[in-house]
Structure 1
Amino acid sequence: MDRSWIKMDRRLFEYNNGVNSFIDFALKNECLVNGRIRCPCLRCENMKLFEANIVKNHLFFHRFDETYER
């Protein structure tokens, strides 16, 4: 999975596409825990579980943790 978008400005089309690709990947690859996925934003640090739409919002408001590797 291409991760170059993670460091981009959150207002860019490429960042939006990257977030959508990440969410799609997480939902399709059995990354779910009771219908929720781990949030890799800077605030949650991949420790909290949320529904996909909340994770998407977090990735725009709190940025994607650039050290994320899973």
Structure 2
Amino acid sequence: MAQCNQCGNDYDRAFTVTLHDGQTGTFDSFECAIAKMAPSCAQCGCRIIGHGRETVDDRTFCCASCADMAGAELEA
């Protein structure tokens, strides 16, 4: 069994997530994986579980509305 890096639960069906930068984590649920590894919106702080919106200065927002509120210039 593997232990979840977020909640500490021992689970026989745990899985590992690897990000493009090499960061890895072992989790017992997608909920825990999102809480630990998903990027946060630069405006409202919510976890981004969809595509999000990226800016020319490498900030990420959950939606165009948050990017607009922050005065961000979105990538084309």
More helix per residue: 1 or 2? 1
Q: Structure 2 length normalisation: TM-score?
A: 0.26
Q: Structure 1 length normalisation: TM-score?
A: 0.27
Larger radius of gyration: 2
